[in-house]
Structure 1
Amino acid sequence: MMLLGNRLRVLMAALTLVWVHGAYAAGTVEPAMTVAHAQASPLVAVAKAGTRVVAVGDHGVVVMSDDGEHWRQANTVPVDSLLTALTFVDDQQGWAVGQAGVILHTTDGGEHWTLQQRLDEQPGLLSLWFENERHGIVVGAYGYAAQTQDGGQSWQRLQVGEDGDDYHLNHLFASSDGTLFIAAEMGNAYRSTDHGATWQALDTGATGSLWSGLGLRDGQVLLAGMTGRVLLGDPAGDNWQTLDSGTEEAITALTQLADGRVALVGNGGMTAISDAALTRFTVKVREDRVNLAALAPLNDGQIILVGSAGVMPQ
């Protein structure tokens, strides 16, 4: 379970429970509680719904902000379990996933959520990608992958890797030309050039787990993960070079800023921003050294950080 502790230690217990078929998997689904200062709850992922920022985390907490400063909790979330990832196809319609195969859907920019599916095998879901309002893919623990062609009403299993592979599939993302990539456990990564129907394993040269990835605007691809590893790949993902990230902390998420630079976050309060050429990263460490899970750029050039202490300033 090294993967769990390095992604976000504060959530390790919750993830471990579901992945060893804990009590939640066998129990009933309860709605998320309304809590004071929900933006200070442990948060795991953040996404943009138009100009709105929406973040999800433990106990079904979903918070949102239209200006990056004032936050409120979603009106309706039908689960009180850990939510791990979310995505929007426009400013209104989005999906979120989490433990025990939970898939949530919103049609109003995150204000209200419905329980669209609870997948039969109740996998721990870690990431998702939607091409449009109909076609999407979810991935998760122990090699789980599935796709929908009807907006999430039904799901069909996908094969990623060889038969018997059970690597955790940590992050699914698209490059600028639509090629799909998965950052996975133990240095594994996968590519699909047919919208996720089939997948090919990539030789990244890495051994430690890869936590996140990013398609750059110029077509190149980044993978990042354990011990500060950042890999830069060509558009096809056939050739990879290791970049000097300036840190040995586990990197949990990265994003490209409006000016082309890349920002990343990780454990121990680590933040870093590259130069335009990706030749150097300037690293800063927060005084509180709180674990950071995700980030999102705002329109004013600021960056929203989320992690074990909730929403945090840059």
Structure 2
Amino acid sequence: MGALLILTLLPPARASGWRQVGSVRSGYGDVLHFVDANDGWLIGGDTTAGPDDTLVGHSTRDGGATWDELHIPAFRESPNGRYSWGVGRGPFAAFRLDKSEAWVGGAELIAHTVDGGATWEITPLWPAVIFTRELIGLTDRGPLGVHGLHFHDRDQGLMLVTADDVKDGGTNGAAVLATHDGGHTWEQRAVSRRPPPNNFIGDSLSMASASLGWMTHRLGTLYVTTDSGATWRGTGYGVRRAHVAADGNVWATTAEGASDEPVYLARSSDLGQTWEPATVAADLPEEFSSHGGLSSLTLPQDGRGWAVGAFGVVLATEDGATWTREDTPTTSRLLDVQYVEGVVYATGEDGVVLKRDAASTAVHATAKRPTTWARTKAGQRRDGSR
């Protein structure tokens, strides 16, 4: 009798549902702004763009099947004819209130549309901003760039401006401004200064409500406000992006360096006073941390969530406790992810735009034994040091 061959059959690997949709110009689609499952913008700009370049991103009305270029005339021209080192840069931030109304922030100006981007009104920061002595001092450190925008309604909003070092891309100070007339005039809420509580620095702004908001910086700092931007409290080191889930927990992608067991995601239930690193049960590329790690995350109301980052990596969770990797059709670095009306979108470098149905079964890539982390104080590193 011949040898008996026994085969153990494993379930076939199924795709996680991610697929590439449409095609956009590389460098002009870093941030997602969808208002429903079909109507979305990708905002981004080439840092080498000149004053005559009016392209600021792309728009879709069919769920990403097709994309049109989004242009803002005069967006990169010198405001009021005044020369500025900041001319040609941006956009840095955008906010869509609905399908028709949106604001886009750039170098020393804001653009506003009420017809879905067909026409735009350009508002230079000079003279729209009511300049105090502190704000004038901020302009001495560099040209002002609009790096954060949030509107509660068509009249009330907040803006984060930074004094940018054009030569090395650094930030020399920041301020939070408020508007009560849809962005035509702005008044000071807070200016970064020493000592605390307003010793803050940031290049992105997100508001969970009219009073609660978060400011992050690409170098890994996180600040929280509970009084509509009047004061800001630092909540620790090593945070790239923050997201407030429907249950009130704050999730953050971290900027931890490479190690045997790096931390990529953390959760706080007390507005950043303490953080609990999440379990990531997935094999990630060897140079994942050194190439940027995770860039962005989104957690819809049903408890599921997605985080995206370098090498086309997408991590997913069903309950927030454990995150596993999903297969994607790209190795390009993913920069942003957004859940909207049962659909998840991700955008990245090289003009990549991905999409998946959030209701589809999540099938994950190669997993490894989960690593459990102890609860840590804000600003405390994995080994307990600061």
The TM-score with structure 1 as length reference comes to 0.74
Using the alignment, how far apart are the partners of 1:306 and 1:179 within structure 2? 27
- Equivalent in 174, 177, 180 of residue 144 of structure 1: 174
Moved over 6 A (4+): none
Question: What's the counterpart of residue 130 of structure 1?
Answer: 151
Question: What's the counterpart of residue 296 of structure 1?
Answer: 338
Instruction: Give the secondary structure class of the aligned counterpart of 1:268.
Output: helix
Question: What's the counterpart of residue 250 of structure 1?
Answer: 293
- Equivalent in 239, 245, 253 of residue 216 of structure 1: 245
Question: What's the counterpart of residue 226 of structure 1?
Answer: 255
Q: How many residues end up aligned between the 2 structures? A: 271
- Equivalent in 108, 119, 126 of residue 101 of structure 1: 108
CA contact (8 A) 2:157 2:183 kept: yes
CA contact (8 A) 2:32 2:41 kept: yes
Question: What's the counterpart of residue 312 of structure 1?
Answer: 353
CA contact (8 A) 1:53 1:66 kept: yes
CA contact (8 A) 1:117 1:153 kept: no
Shift of 1:216: 0.7
Shift of 1:231: 2.3
Shift of 1:160: 5.4
Equivalent residue runs for 1:150-169 within 5 Å: 150-159=181-190, 162-163=193-194, 168-169=201-202
Structure 2 counterpart of 1:263, which letter? W
- Structure 1 runs not aligned, ≥5 long: 1-36
- Equivalent in 259, 273, 293 of residue 316 of structure 2: 273
Cα deviation per residue 1:104-157 (whole Å; 9 max; x = unaligned)? Answer: 211123343332234684323332222222222222443412222221112233
With over 3 angstroms needed to count, the CA separation of the structure-2 counterparts of 1:226 and 1:236, relative to structure 1, is closer
Shift of 1:310: 2.3
Using the alignment, how far apart are the partners of 1:137 and 1:221 within structure 2? 20
Using the alignment, how far apart are the partners of 2:352 and 2:311 within structure 1? 16
The range that moved more, 55-64 or 154-163, is 154-163
Equivalent residue runs for 1:19-58 within 5 Å: 39-42=24-27, 43-51=29-37, 52-58=39-45
CA contact (8 A) 1:87 1:130 kept: yes
Structure 1 counterpart of 2:26, which letter? S
Instruction: Give the secondary structure class of the aligned counterpart of 1:110.
Output: coil
Using the alignment, how far apart are the partners of 2:346 and 2:119 within structure 1? 23
Instruction: Give the secondary structure class of the aligned counterpart of 2:66.
Output: coil
Using the alignment, how far apart are the partners of 1:195 and 1:94 within structure 2? 21
Q: Does 1:84 align with 2:69?
A: no
With over 3 angstroms needed to count, the CA separation of the structure-2 counterparts of 1:258 and 1:220, relative to structure 1, is closer
Cα deviation per residue 1:19-60 (whole Å; 9 max; x = unaligned)? Answer: xxxxxxxxxxxxxxxxxx972331221112345111111143
Of the two, which has the highest radius of gyration?
A: 2
Structure 1 counterpart of 2:159, which letter? V
Using the alignment, how far apart are the partners of 1:144 and 1:177 within structure 2? 20
Using the alignment, how far apart are the partners of 2:334 and 2:311 within structure 1? 7
- Equivalent in 193, 207, 210 of residue 226 of structure 2: 193
Structure 2 counterpart of 1:281, which letter? W
Structure with a larger share of its residues in helix: 1
CA contact (8 A) 1:176 1:215 kept: no
Structure 1 counterpart of 2:267, which letter? L
Q: Does 1:239 align with 2:225?
A: no
Shift of 1:311: 4.2
Question: What's the counterpart of residue 215 of structure 2?
Answer: 182
CA contact (8 A) 1:103 1:118 kept: yes
The TM-score with structure 2 as length reference comes to 0.62
Aligned residues: CA RMSD: 2.9
- Structure 2 runs not aligned, ≥5 long: 1-21, 47-54, 77-88, 128-138, 163-170, 257-262, 356-386
